[in-house]
Amino acid sequence: MPASGGVLRYLKAKGSVDARSVNVQVREACVRALAELPADRPLRVVELGGGAGGAFRYWMSLLVPFQRVEFTATDRDGGLLEAYREEVVSLAGKLGISATGDDPRRLRLDDGGRMIDLRLREAVLPEGFPREDEGSFDLMVAQSFWDLVPPGTALALGRHLLAPRGVFYATLTFSGGTRFAPPHELDRQLLHCYHASMGGERGGDPYAGERLLGHVRMPGSGFSELATGRSDWRVVPTDQGYLADEKYFLLTVLGFIEKELLASTEVRDDQLDWWMGIRRRQLADGQLSYAARQQDLAARRDD
């Protein structure tokens, strides 16, 4: 089923925010670790929660030294994976790279010297990856993802999927902080409930960014930390209003918060209506700023 227009627009709208948030030191550590992997055989990459391919161009920028790349993009949503393929075809067109393949779940990119074989695969975490996948990837990447699955999933999957000395790279992992400006007297209460709602029955982890780092540093984790650093999202209006489609991005974030808090027994409807009404008006007037605390991490799988 094709993905809904609203979800796709949100995932595209977040692209400009993502691009300025990624931590450059962590990126460099990841690139250095990749340079130690053999370049005379295809580099095998797996992406978790790839969505509509919003990060594909970024991942490609890390892989320039490799002549052959086998890239497996996964997500639980088959509709988003269709959009992922379209995104890559469109990107290849813009970059003047050939993109071929009749199979809707495969695509070959060829720029004359370098070949990238893209495979799209539906997989739901934490299960989703059978025994045959064991140790079959050199690089495991995910963006804006690890807070959506239970704590511990990321490294357990990394131990399962990565070959010895394989690289684990997580960008823009949410880490327990949401701030709006101007301040509002209900911010503390409402945002606390919002974060709490990501865990519990929903099965996610609102502190995933920090927790990932803690798990890597634990003795016997099976990983060595390469680098970590903040990658907070920040959206601030300019004199010309919000950049790119970031007003829509922020509108959707407010919608996520509202949806979670409607289900909360700790927030009264009149409190939520008051807070949402003010936040939406501030957004419409170009007066609302937003920041989310996030963390990037690169680590290497032990031998």
Stretch that binds ligand SAM, among 59-67, 76-84, 160-168, 293-301 (CB under 6 A): 76-84
Of residues 109 and 149, the one with the C-beta less far from ligand SAM: 149
Of the candidates 277, 33, 258, which has an alpha carbon nearest to the alpha carbon of residue 168?
33
Peptide linkage before 65 cis (omega within 30 of 0): no
Each residue 211-250 as x (binds ligand SAM by CB under 6 A) or -, in order, gives: ----------------------------------------
Q: Which stretch binds ligand SAM (CB under 6 A): 51-59, 191-199, 207-215, 221-229?
A: 51-59
Q: State the pairing for strand pair 289-301/223-230.
A: antiparallel
CB neighbourhood size of 102 (10 A): 6
In angstroms, the Cα distances linking 13 to 6, 54, 77, 261, 265 are 10, 9, 19, 23, 31
Question: If we measure between CA atoms, which residue out of 199, 203, 182, 180 comes closest to residue 190?
Answer: 180
Rounded CA Rg of the chain: 20
Q: Measure the CA–CA gap between 117 and 108, rounded to whole angstroms.
A: 5
Residue 77 binding ligand SAM, by CB under 6 A: yes
User: Of 4 and 25, which CB lies nearer to ligand SAM in the complex structure?
Assistant: 4
In sign, the C-alpha dihedral spanning 89, 244, 257, 204 is positive
- Binding range to ligand SAM, per CB under 6 A, among 75-83, 103-111, 180-188, 280-288: 75-83
Q: Which stretch binds ligand SAM (CB under 6 A): 58-66, 74-82, 98-106, 259-267?
A: 74-82
143 binds ligand SAM (CB under 6 A): yes
Supply the minimum distance, in Å, between the C-beta of residue 300 and ligand SAM: 22
Asked if 145 touches ligand SAM (CB under 6 A), the answer is yes
- 19 scored as a contact of ligand SAM (CB under 6 A): no
Structure tokens at 21: 């948030």
221: helix, coil or strand? coil
- The span of 46-54, 184-192, 232-240, 260-268 binding ligand SAM (CB under 6 A) equals 46-54
Residue 60 makes contact with ligand SAM by CB under 6 A: no
Q: How many residues bind ligand SAM (CB under 6 A)?
A: 17
Considering only CA atoms, which of 259, 251, 303, 302 is closest in space to residue 279?
A: 251
Which of 217, 220, 215 is closest to 205 using CA atoms?
A: 215
Token pair belonging to 233: 């999202």
Among residues 23, 144, 173, 228, which is the contact residue for ligand SAM, using CB under 6 A? 144
Binding status of residue 140 toward ligand SAM by CB under 6 A? no
Among 46, 148, 227, 299, interactor with ligand SAM by CB under 6 A: 148
Is 128:74 a contact under the CB 8 Å cutoff? yes
Under the binding rule (CB under 6 A), the answer on residue 137 touching ligand SAM is no
Residues that bind ligand SAM (CB under 6 A): 11, 49-51, 54-55, 75-77, 80, 124-125, 143-145, 148-149
